[in-house]
Amino acid sequence: MSHSSAAPSRPAHHGAAAVVATALTVRLGRLPVLHGLDFAIPAGRITGLLGPSGSGKTTLMRTIVGTQRIAGGTVEVLGLAAGSAALRREVGYVTQSPSVYPDLTVEANVRYFGAMHKKGKADVAEAIAAVGLEPLARRRAAGLSGGQVNRVSLACALVAHPRLLVLDEPTVGLDPVLRADLWDRFRAMAEAGTTLLVSSHVMEEASRCETLLLLREGRLLAQLTPAELGRRGHSSNLEQAFLAVIREQEDGDGGTPPDRTIGGIRPAGLEQRRSVR
Amino acid sequence: MDIRMMLATARRVLSQLRHDHRSIALILVVPALLLTAVYFLYENETLRPGVPRTFDRVGLMMLAIFPFVVMFLVTSITMLRERTTGTLERLLTTPVHKADLLFGYGLAFSLMAALQSLVATAVAYWIFGLDIAGAPGYVVLIAVINAVLGVALGLFCSAFARTEFQAVQFMPVVVVPQILLCGLFVARERMNDVLEAISNVLPLTYSVDALQEVAAHAEATDRLWQDAATMAAIALGVLVLAALTLRRRTS
């Protein structure tokens, strides 16, 4: 993919942080999933959470939203501990598989989740318009395509006007035009002050973000801007760059050590990544 | 608690059901059909003068048992779906109070139960000439309390099922013993001590007792109100237990 659509490179750590994690460790049952992560997500920006499938992206998002218990370390969201009751008004979460009621219309879905935030008709109409589903507002979600249901799920989060919006793979199954539309919408929201955390395993989407968190096997490889990733990976193709960064980690002594890197990546998995290409 | 969120939940649950015409038909029509079967089952019985028809006893109790069974099933499946599709987790990330959700469910399904019981009671009275001393309004009241009980147990039990298949298997565990021991088949005084003791703690027992009061007395008796209060208290207690199964965080 070309990078004509790259985000304007504003400094990544300008202004206040919306989310701050310190030595964050999470276990699912007994299985350790996140290993002592340290990072800060800047307020009013789009942060991309990138990494291969199974790297812990969803678990990290659930931790920030407050539905996942923390085993060690801290996560502060908008100045409060993740999961605080007051954050339920401020944080929106769109799960990877769309969590909407298939037997309700688009409008009824958005209206119901809006009601949980005491939002009225105007907000409902605005949220449906934002995802471009006005013509389908009276159709039941069960009759819509996968991409359309994803957008219903997104509208159910937008209706609350959250200050922090956490989106787990929101563009999966969308055609390129819709995907571009949604990223424009995310950009507009960030410019209006919303903080967005967007996960993806499609590296081309990284260029749309202002900061990137690169996650692999539950460890943070790096936090950097797309431009920095390109430089460090010696490629304008961000997928190539990401792979180069992984290799650099595995070699251990590769070039300039990144400032926010946690080492100890096992050499396994590289073959797997190659075959994915 | 926020009354608007509770009402929004009840409205949402009802409009989910509204699109499902077949389920509505099953809920409203099946009890009436089963009552018809019971009526014809005892059609040719010979009665000594002064003895009430079996239909007046069994049919009456069935009016209370239907809403309990149906609402238990409908609620446990609906709630299980809510858990497995992720809508419950999503709801619990919003400011909604757990009680708003549970009482919203209770309200929606009680309305359905009230409709169901109105249809069944009307059929029992007008078509089959149900002959009891008390007013039909009390029959409907007990039926609705029973429905709330079914909703509460369904909400609670759905926490222990991972699939709809498992949820349905809770019926023989939770519902059938109550039907066996409630006094429908054998009067409770004639049960052995163990069974009678068990039946004393099962909520459906109190609804059968309440309906026997309605059948025997033209006016509401103290015992009827006691039974109704006991059932309501159990329903509330189970709803609280159900609320404890709703976790905002998983580990």
pLDDT-derived band of residue A259, with 50, 70 and 90 as boundaries? very low
CA dihedral B70, B73, B78, B82 (to 10 degrees): 150
B1 touching A, CB under 8 A? no
User: How is residue A229 written in tokens?
Assistant: 């990733």
User: Does the CA dihedral B140-B144-B146-B150 come out positive or negative?
Assistant: positive
Give the Å distances, CA to CA, from A188 to A92, A195, A234, B161, B176.
Answer: 16, 11, 30, 43, 58
Do residue B87 and residue A104 have CB atoms under 8 angstroms apart?
A: no
Orientation of helix B54-84 relative to helix B98-122, angle to 10°: 150
User: Does the CA dihedral B223-B227-B228-B229 come out positive or negative?
Assistant: positive
Quote ipTM for the complex: 0.86
Helix residue spans in A116-198 (DSSP H) = 121-130, 146-158, 176-191
Q: State the Cα–Cα distance between residues B3 and B96, nearest whole angstrom.
A: 10
Structural domain spans, chain B = 3-245
Residues 6+ apart with CB under 8 A from B161: B76, B80, B167, B169, B170
Q: State the Cα–Cα distance between residues A111 and A208, nearest whole angstrom.
A: 30
Q: State the Cα–Cα distance between residues A18 and A67, nearest whole angstrom.
A: 18
pLDDT in tens, A110-126: 999 999 999 999 999 99
Which segments of chain B have a pLDDT < 70?
Answer: none
Q: Work out the minimum CA distance from B32 to partner chain A, whole angstroms.
A: 27
Chain B residues within an 8 Å CB radius of A95: 86, 89-90
Domains of chain A plus CATH, in order, are 17-90+162-210 (3.40.50.300)
According to the model, what pLDDT value does residue A250 have? 76
Beta bridge partners of A93: A166
Q: Select from A112, A118, A124 the residue whose CB has the most chain B CBs within 10 Å, as the one to mutate to test that interface.
A: A112
Q: What is the DSSP secondary structure assignment for residue A6, as one 8-state letter?
A: P
pLDDT-derived band of residue A15, with 50, 70 and 90 as boundaries? low
pLDDT in tens, A246-255: 888 777 644 4
- How many Cβ atoms sit within 10 Å of the Cβ of residue B170? 19
According to the model, what pLDDT value does residue A5 have? 43
CB distance A91 to A196 below 8 Å:
no
Percent of chain B residues past pLDDT 70, beyond the cut: 100
Buried b (16+ CB within 10 A) or exposed e, B97-122: ebbbbbbbbbbbbbbbbbebbbbbbe
Residues 6+ apart with CB under 8 A from A67: A83, A93, B89, B92, B93, B248, B249, B250
Chain A residues within an 8 Å CB radius of B96: 116
pLDDT in tens, A234-245: 888 888 888 888
Chain B residues within an 8 Å CB radius of A117: 94-95
Q: Nearest Cβ partner of B5 from A104, A111, A115? A: A115
Buried b (16+ CB within 10 A) or exposed e, B151-165: bbbbbbbbbebeeee
